[in-house]
Amino acid sequence: MATSPYQQLEEEFRRLHAFHGALALLRWDAAVMMPRGSAEVRGDQIAALEMECHALLTTPKLSRLIERAEANVQGLEEWQIANLREMRRQRDYAIATPNTVISRLAKAIARSEMHWLEARRSGRFTDVAPHLAEVVSLMRDRAALLGQHLGLEPYDALIDEYTPGVKTAEIDTLFKAMGHRLPALVRDARELQATTSVLPFSGRFPASKQRALCVDVMKALGFPFEHGRLDESAHPFTEGLTGDIRITTQFDPQDPFRGLLAAMHETGHALYDLGLPAQWRKQPVGGNRGMALEESQSLILEKMVGHSRPFLAYLKPLLEKHYGVSGPEWEVDNLYRYLTRVNHGVLSADADELTYPAHIMMRYELEKELLSGELEVARLPEAWNAAAESRLGIAPSNDVEGCLQDMHWYVGQFGYFPAYALGGLIAAQLWERLRTDLEGLDEQIGRGDFSGLAGWLRTHVYEVGARMTVQDLVQDATDRPLSSAPMLRYLEAKYLEGIT
Amino acid sequence: MATSPYQQLEEEFRRLHAFHGALALLRWDAAVMMPRGSAEVRGDQIAALEMECHALLTTPKLSRLIERAEANVQGLEEWQIANLREMRRQRDYAIATPNTVISRLAKAIARSEMHWLEARRSGRFTDVAPHLAEVVSLMRDRAALLGQHLGLEPYDALIDEYTPGVKTAEIDTLFKAMGHRLPALVRDARELQATTSVLPFSGRFPASKQRALCVDVMKALGFPFEHGRLDESAHPFTEGLTGDIRITTQFDPQDPFRGLLAAMHETGHALYDLGLPAQWRKQPVGGNRGMALEESQSLILEKMVGHSRPFLAYLKPLLEKHYGVSGPEWEVDNLYRYLTRVNHGVLSADADELTYPAHIMMRYELEKELLSGELEVARLPEAWNAAAESRLGIAPSNDVEGCLQDMHWYVGQFGYFPAYALGGLIAAQLWERLRTDLEGLDEQIGRGDFSGLAGWLRTHVYEVGARMTVQDLVQDATDRPLSSAPMLRYLEAKYLEGIT
């Protein structure tokens, strides 16, 4: 039976999808189940499979098939054409960086990650500086090569890899509007919160009880345990592909909420991944539309839902059931005040939704300067501290709480940070619209019924897959271009007017 | 840098080794961790990786490299030459069966396995008979193709795949000697045991306590938990490759011993796999030497050690510690009588070491007849029952306890059964020799010191890898060719004279 070039491509990408699924399991197992002494063996397995994926994407045969399919799109349907575009996109990224650069980068990153861990222990940035400099230099080469191949500015090519279709110019505009309004908003919110007090929580909350609570909430949110798992790991994450999604969280016996909220964050990722168009799940167009949209889905569940009064009203009896707690500190108003307290600190991991964007914006500015060469790696600590002073109004007292706090740059993740803040903007814009579309949403959430929310997200986000850019998705879902206005309205209502 | 054909082959087989490791994890996870609804996705991943392994072994490039390396062995060391021989062996098996036969067989096996489960529920062999017939017919084709390619009789080619270097003629001789002596031995042992009584065990033994007991015993045996795991699954198994070994067992709260003994059996596999020559662990010659030798290693720990008085003397305080038990039934003599009771039944899974060989020998005879066509699949039930009557002296009352009891044939495992009985013979011969080599072994085992045993097995078994045939390994280790005499001496001493 003769198969068309396009059909042959689908066959090749089904194989690639299967390899990606195997890789996802190898990574999940390494973080959750693997005996400590087996890291080297696992490294070999992951490297062999990654090489295989890269080889599959870079064979001349695949490029020929893409060209032949592109010359013959008139017989294809809309989804197939979008799929072909995503195939080319994956091919382009694979082929743009020569194997030598990939292999040098992999080794430089391994060294840099090791020395970053070392530097965090010693507190000396100089321990890792030369290794970070090597990563930055190789990333600069990679960005140039990618940009050349894709017709993009170098840094835009890196951003595009994480969040397809988004460019620096657009991010600058969005961030500028945020940066303009946020400082005053933070100040006003802190003044307002200074007039109220929060009752503290005491007691111990064993992991087994936190887990049972998580499972109850995750089931209500729609997490299908017959296609997924909840486990514990050092850093919460979601791994897997459609059909087998595994999330992790971490339970601190002294913190009754952190493990749950992290699980809700990861459930947001998981529901998005599980809800991707079933018919296309083995093809590129059936994948997620990048990290900003991924992040928006986790933020909607963690922040917009998880930090809202209706949700806390639903949660209260569950806290009583699982933790056996009661008393004034466990009343909805106190829970809400506790969870929405503005935390004005130097660590982005501890930041709330009001101060978080400033952390991201300063990383975005710094990584642009690092890549352009404007900022030398050796001068990163002082540049970081100056940016923190100006953006956050507070400077870290040492580099561990400063430029050593995130792993991203040290493992070569440049162009990733903007996705966190963009994810917040997308979340707020989708949230604003879905609240007008869904009558009685607060009441539904208050009684633990998340089906309306899930249905809206399925239609407007999950089932779109990678068929269009994230900007088009937001436009289609909200009838407006992506903007920072909904986020600012949301923050003002929540932190100044005490709404939701 | 120019690399020789042999060096290029090592590189290719390192990749293959990494893929096999990934496959092992995908299978382990499917049996132990995977959400139930994810079987289809997992099936795709396994199939894609298996295809990749098959493709790697069957490329013309690999065959050319093998031929060029074989034409140039003078520069190679002994291990490298053995490695090249094992590379060719793997290539030969991969290339001998055309993809069409492999794919038809895979589908026929999937159907047959499903209908076997069905037939076990309905009790009707006819539900699965046509599907088994299809598998038998395809296995016959495969055996003929393999035999032709490898210069072996068809059935020998199937045996060779599981236990390299062993042929029907040798098995016939070994089994004949066993079959000649065993019936009288079973009769005499049962008569003797009829004069003594065994105190029963009562109480419940929760999985968590059984697990803690297992971990203590496994640690004493030398299982390195930094390179492996113990989990639970429906059927105990060992999965993994050197560097990451995972065993499973199953805990029955009403049976204080079964889970432990299964874990000791699997620990035998694991220690062998972990002890394979470290320098060669990513190459074919660093693999295990087939299923018979594998089985011998698990039987030495489970039967020779686990069902011995010295081991039970070591175990007694551990039973007290973990189960909190005491009383006459927990005394060493009663434990020993309980565990060595001859169980004269129709199910091989419940058989003891005295009656087990007869179960295997009848399967061996039957599968030869099925493959030759002498026995039609439709007539299997009556042939099975007749064989059971003559070999075991007892006929099953239905097919679920008869020819439907094992999964092997229904999933295409022909040529596997002999390995179980051969494993017993090898175990007994190694055991006899190591007991003369290791002075004070019983005292060591009695105090939980297994280092002498482990050292002997490491030198004479583990570190040999796949460098020679199992017959040569046994000859080297014991100065005698493989024979059934040690097994018969061992059984007589244990079951008639009450020694060990």
Complex-level ipTM: 0.91
Determine the structural domain holding residue A420 and report its residue range. Answer: 159-500
Nearest CA in chain A to B230: A35
The pLDDT score that the predictor gives to residue A157 is 96
- Identify whether residues A176 and A59 lie together within a single domain: no
Give pLDDT tens digits for A18-67: 999 999 999 999 989 999 888 888 988 999 999 999 999 999 999 999 99
Ordered strands of the A238-241 beta sheet: A228-232, A244-249, A238-241
Bigger pLDDT: B102 vs A500: B102
Q: Using the beta-carbon criterion (under 8 Å), do A49 and B244 form an inter-chain contact? A: no
- Identify whether residues A22 and A169 lie together within a single domain: no
Q: Using the beta-carbon criterion (under 8 Å), do B48 and A22 form an inter-chain contact? A: yes
Q: Which residues of B351-374 are buried (b: 16+ CB within 10 A; e: fewer)?
A: bbbbbbbbbbbbbbbbbbbbbeee
- Mean pLDDT over each residue of chain B, to the nearest integer: 95
| B73 part of a folded domain | yes
Whether pLDDT at B444 is above 90? yes
Residue at A82: amino acid letter:
A
Q: Using the beta-carbon criterion (under 8 Å), do A244 and B282 form an inter-chain contact? A: no
- In this prediction, residue A1 has a pLDDT band, given cuts at 50, 70 and 90, of low
| B2 part of a folded domain | yes
- Identify whether residues B77 and B183 lie together within a single domain: no
DSSP A140-179: HHHHHHHHHHHTS-HHHHHHHHHSTT--HHHHHHHHHHHH
The pLDDT score that the predictor gives to residue B294 is 97
- Identify whether residues A269 and A165 lie together within a single domain: yes
3-class secondary-structure state, position B32: helix
Count of pairs with CB atoms under 8 A, one residue in A, one in B: 97
Residue at B262: amino acid letter:
A
Structure tokens at A57: 């994407």
Mutation choice for A interface testing from B33, B46, B50 by most A CBs within 10 A:
B33
The pLDDT score that the predictor gives to residue B499 is 67
> What is the C-alpha to C-alpha distance for residues B212 and A177, in angstroms, rounded to an integer?
60
Structure tokens at A91: 């091919």
- Identify whether residues B51 and B197 lie together within a single domain: no
| A107 part of a folded domain | no
φ, ψ for residue A228, nearest 5 deg: -165, 175
- Distance from the B461 Cα atom to the nearest Cα atom in chain A, whole angstroms: 23
> What is the C-alpha to C-alpha distance for residues B316 and B181, in angstroms, rounded to an integer?
34
When pLDDT is averaged across residues B452-473 and rounded to a whole number, the result is: 97
Structure tokens at B106: 């895979």
Structure tokens at A15: 């194989």
> What is the C-alpha to C-alpha distance for residues A284 and A155, in angstroms, rounded to an integer?
24
- Identify whether residues A176 and A40 lie together within a single domain: no
Burial class (CB in 10 A: 0-12, 13-18, 19+), B232: middle
- Identify whether residues B171 and B86 lie together within a single domain: no
Give pLDDT tens digits for A213-249: 999 999 999 999 999 999 999 889 999 777 899 999 9
Whether pLDDT at A500 is above 70? no
Indicate the residue of A29, A42, A48 with minimum beta-carbon distance to B15. Answer: A48
- Distance from the B30 Cα atom to the nearest Cα atom in chain A, whole angstroms: 11
Whether pLDDT at A203 is above 70? yes
Whose structure tokens read 């167009």?
Answer: A285
- Identify whether residues B303 and B436 lie together within a single domain: yes
> What is the C-alpha to C-alpha distance for residues A393 and A318, in angstroms, rounded to an integer?
39
Contacts by A438-444, CB closer than 8 A, 24 or more apart: A441/A310, A442/A308, A442/A309, A442/A310, A442/A500, A443/A310
- Identify whether residues B324 and B470 lie together within a single domain: yes
| B130 part of a folded domain | no
Residue at A374: amino acid letter:
E
Structure tokens at B359: 């179960």
Boundary residue ending a domain (B76, B96, B116): B96
Boundary residue ending a domain (B96, B122, B153): B96
CATH classification of the domain holding A465: 1.10.1370.30
Give pLDDT tens digits for B198-248: 999 999 999 999 999 999 999 999 999 999 999 999 889 999 777 899 999
What percentage of residues in chain A have a pLDDT greater than 90? Answer: 90
| B89 part of a folded domain | yes
Structure tokens at B222: 């030398």
Q: Using the beta-carbon criterion (under 8 Å), do B49 and A282 form an inter-chain contact? A: no
The pLDDT score that the predictor gives to residue B497 is 87
3-class secondary-structure state, position B77: coil
Boundary residue ending a domain (A79, A96, A113): A96
- Within 8 A of B229 by CB-CB distance, chain A residues are 33, 35
Ordered strands of the B228-232 beta sheet: B228-232, B244-249, B238-241
The pLDDT score that the predictor gives to residue B100 is 85
Give pLDDT tens digits for A153-180: 999 999 999 999 999 999 999 999 999 9
Mutation choice for A interface testing from B20, B40, B52, B241 by most A CBs within 10 A:
B52
Number of domains in chain A: 2
| A373 part of a folded domain | yes
- Identify whether residues A222 and A303 lie together within a single domain: yes
- Distance from the A39 Cα atom to the nearest Cα atom in chain B, whole angstroms: 9
- Distance from the B22 Cα atom to the nearest Cα atom in chain A, whole angstroms: 6
Phi and psi based region of residue B176 (left: phi greater than 0; alpha: psi -120 to 50; beta: remaining): alpha
- Within 8 A of A228 by CB-CB distance, chain B residues are 35
Indicate the residue of A229, A241, A282 with minimum beta-carbon distance to B35. Answer: A229
The pLDDT score that the predictor gives to residue B500 is 57
Nearest CA in chain B to A16: B48
- Identify whether residues A85 and A169 lie together within a single domain: no
| A63 part of a folded domain | yes
- Identify whether residues A323 and A439 lie together within a single domain: yes
| B323 part of a folded domain | yes
